[in-house]
Amino acid sequence: MPGWVLLVAPVLAILLALYVLPVASIFTESFLVDGKVSLGNYTGFFGTEQYVGILLRTFLFALVATLLCGVLAYPYAFLLTRVTGRLKIVLVALVLVPFWTSMLARTYAWLVLLQDNGPVQAFLQSLGITVPLLRSPAGVLIGMVQILLPFMVLPLYNTMSGIDRRLLHAAETLGANKLKAFVKVYFPLSLPGLMSGGIIVYVLSLGFYVTPAILGSPQTSLLSQLIVQEISQRLDWGSAGAMSVILVVLTLAFLALAARFLNLRSIFSNSEGDR
């Protein structure tokens, strides 16, 4: 037996036991109804208006969270490429520190901040603004964006830091003002970072559970919450399995669609600094 087989065998055994078999079990359960092979779990899902609504809401929330992350991350990443010294260290630390903090802790922090008697509501009320945050779509999106923002900032910064600034100076010497040089030269060169960050954030958003469960309400529940509900409350593994398969298939379909119009290999290689 070749030596490399002995080296990878333990890893393959662990992956098979902890990942492949559970996923295969969920996939199999999704096609079983009362012990018989059936598409009943799938037809039941798509035949229930409430379930389809939650599925559409999941993709809508993921899209909005991705757009908000892009809008907030782009100027921040641009600023990171312009500053130096201690200010740059502080800005980089603000991006990296959330990675070292539990998502659950950050979500509970938002629970305190967004509650009706919390500091955010007090500030808004001082401005004469009354907006429900906790148990609302706004609260869920605020939590999701704060947690996912670093996944957009880092690919953008990686791409922007590789853009040759002399191209902007060249555009300005050819007659373009600063805004036109940015729009015509800098922004297109930064698109690979924006696209790679957007794909990462969008895919991660589709599987969010903790933040919507804590900051949201039954009216803002997402598909991951519905899957947990089917398992923990109804013990309906078949229905939960069908929902999981539907989410995975639609996510893969999104990636395939993105690959149809975008060169994903080029985008991710550029974002990783493959220059």
pLDDT at 272: 47
Q: Are 189 and 206 in contact (CB under 8 A)?
A: no
Q: Which residues contact 240 (CB under 8 A, 6 or more apart)?
A: 26, 29, 227, 228, 230, 231
pLDDT at 268: 58
What distance in Å separates the CA atoms of residue 56 and residue 246, rounded to the nearest whole number? 12
Task: For residue range 22-37, list pLDDT tens digits in order.
Answer: 889 989 989 988 888 8
Task: For residue range 143-170, list pLDDT tens digits in order.
Answer: 999 999 999 999 999 999 989 888 888 9
Per-residue pLDDT of the chain (275 residues; tens, 9 = 90+): 677 778 888 889 998 988 899 889 989 989 988 888 889 999 999 999 999 999 999 999 999 999 999 999 999 999 999 998 899 999 999 988 887 888 888 899 999 999 888 888 889 888 888 888 888 999 999 999 999 999 999 999 999 998 988 888 898 888 888 899 999 999 999 998 999 899 999 999 998 888 999 998 888 889 999 999 998 888 888 999 999 999 999 999 988 888 877 766 665 565 444 43
pLDDT at 264: 66
Any long-range contacts for 231-239 (C-beta under 8 Å, 24+ apart)?
237/26, 237/29, 238/29, 238/30, 238/31, 238/32, 238/33, 238/40, 238/41, 239/41, 239/44, 239/45
Q: What is the pTM of this model?
A: 0.86
Tell me the C-alpha to C-alpha distance, in Å, between residue 267 and each of 145, 193, 259.
22, 7, 10
Burial profile 140-152: b = 16 or more Cβ within 10 angstroms, e = fewer: bbbbbbbbbbbbb
The backbone region for 273, taken as left when phi is positive above 0, alpha when psi lies in -120 to 50, beta otherwise, is left
Q: Which residues contact 154 (CB under 8 A, 6 or more apart)?
A: 95, 197
